Structure 1
Amino acid sequence: MDFSFLTRPDIIQTLFEGLLVTLEVAFFSILFSFIFGIILGTLRYTKLPVLSQIATLYIETIRNLPLLLIIFFGFFGFKEWGWELPITTSVIISMTIFTSSLVGEIVRSGLNSIDKGQIEAARASGLTYVQTLWYIVLPQALKRMIPPMVSQFVSLLKDTSLAVAISLPELMHNAQIVYNRYYNMTVPLLIFVSLIYFVINYSLSQASRQLEKKLAG
């Protein structure tokens, strides 16, 4: 196999620019999904009238839809509504909508895993329900949420490649441009791109393990 493309500055620059877009979309999608996911999961856990039902409806509806459908809906839907958003912004919103529903379910499961006796003890000591959630339940639950949440965020980073369907200039899109231009480099190029994804996702997984050990210690 010919890996000589690694010495071609124009090809490396094209791939690097795609990687930057992939990381940008992943970073902001993870950030916003984490924030909205915690809000959704907490609202569903609290069983508050109306708000809990809305959160449950959102989570159960969105997480049972294909991500690609949501990406298409976001890209074309915003245009039909007269909102000319940059394609990167459109994808970030779409991925946040989808991933926050999955994170919300992780949060709800994490909160449910905390012993009810701790909640009763906290309430008996004079803490309000919100204080109990904030100071007692959520900190413990977050430690248990780390593995599934990181796994979800790793999936999110990989799923940015689905946006190639709407021509987001991310890593896979730019790799496609290269191997359409140099057809004899297709397999080596795909191996190289696979290696990039592996290094990033493996590093993220290792960092989460270290964080989990630190919190457990």
Structure 2
Amino acid sequence: MDFSGAFSWMNIRFLLDGLWVTVQVSILSIIFSMILGGVAGTIRYSGIPFVSKALGIVIDIIRNLPLLLIIFFTYFALPQIGIKLNIFWAAVAALTIFESAMLSEIFRAGLNAVPKGQTEAGLSSGLTYVQTLAIIILPQALKSMLPAILSQLISLIKDTSLAVIISLPELMHNARIVYGQNTNYVIPMFVAMTAMYFVVCYLLSLASRYLETRNYNY
């Protein structure tokens, strides 16, 4: 097969443009899902009457839905109720909803791993419950949560490829356009995509391993 021209600067630049969209969607989704997931996990950990249970039901429903279905919902269903998002923000919204549910359980588990005596000590020293969470419980929990959070964020980066279904111009989408114009480029494009995804995800996995080793040594 003739692979000549597959790795031309024009094609590589087009793929890098797609990778940049992937990175932008990932960063925004990470920021929003960390905030929402952290809040949701803290509420569930706190056991607020009714609210914690209702939130737990919603989170369980989201966690057991395919991400692809959530992407379809944000792009095709939300406009039916007056919420119209462009392709980029529909992808960000879908990933944020899904990842927030996943991260909330990581936050809740991390908070539960901190001995209850720490909360009692904080309250007995005159701190409010919120202050105890922010100053004493959360910093300890984050140390054990970080590797799991990074692993989940690696999955998020890979999950951005599912947004190709709504034609988000991310890496997978752009690669499909290239090899759609020349079927001889299918293998080179998959090799290029593999390399790009690997570099980004491997760097994050190295950070995760470092944090795991550091936490273990402590």
**With structure 2 as the length reference, what TM-score do the two structures score?**
0.93
RMSD over aligned CA atoms reads 1.7
State yes or no: 1:206 paired with 2:169. Answer: no
- Give the Cα separation in 1 of the matches to 2:140 and 2:178: 47
- Give the Cα separation in 2 of the matches to 1:12 and 1:192: 8
TM alignment of 1:25-174, pairs within 5 A: 25-174=25-174
**Structure 2 contact 62–101 (Cα < 8 Å) conserved:** yes
Q: Classify 1:121/1:63 alpha carbon distance in 2 versus 1 (closer, same or farther; 3 Å).
A: same
**Structure 2, unaligned runs of 5 or more:** none
Q: Cα offset for 1:181?
A: 0.8
- Give the Cα separation in 1 of the matches to 2:119 and 2:152: 28
Q: Cα offset for 1:13?
A: 2.2
Amino acid at match of 2:135: Y
Amino acid at match of 1:78: L
- Give the Cα separation in 1 of the matches to 2:181 and 2:92: 29
Amino acid at match of 2:190: L
Aligned residues: 216
Q: Cα offset for 1:132?
A: 1.2
User: Percent sequence identity over matched residues?
Assistant: 50
Q: Cα offset for 1:12?
A: 1.6
**Structure 1, unaligned runs of 5 or more:** none
Residues 106-152 of structure 1 show CA distances to partners (whole Å, capped at 9, x for unaligned) of 00000000111222222222222111111111100011111111111
Partner of 1:180: 180
**Structure 1 contact 107–145 (Cα < 8 Å) conserved:** yes
**With structure 1 as the length reference, what TM-score do the two structures score?**
0.93
Q: Cα offset for 1:185?
A: 1.4
- Give the Cα separation in 2 of the matches to 1:137 and 1:158: 31
- Give the Cα separation in 2 of the matches to 1:135 and 1:212: 23
- Give the Cα separation in 1 of the matches to 2:214 and 2:19: 30
Amino acid at match of 1:164: V
Name the SS for the 2:6 alignment partner: helix
Q: Cα offset for 1:100?
A: 0.1
Name the SS for the 1:120 alignment partner: helix
- Give the Cα separation in 2 of the matches to 1:131 and 1:55: 23
Name the SS for the 1:85 alignment partner: coil
**Structure 2 contact 75–86 (Cα < 8 Å) conserved:** no
Residues 12-70 of structure 1 show CA distances to partners (whole Å, capped at 9, x for unaligned) of 22211111111111010011000000000000000012321232122111111110000
Partner of 2:6: 5
- 4+ residue runs of structure 1 moved beyond 4 angstroms? 211-217
**Structure 1 contact 33–99 (Cα < 8 Å) conserved:** yes
Q: Cα offset for 1:83?
A: 3.0
Between 129-138 and 200-209, the greater mean CA deviation after superposition: 200-209
Q: Cα offset for 1:86?
A: 1.3
Name the SS for the 1:5 alignment partner: coil
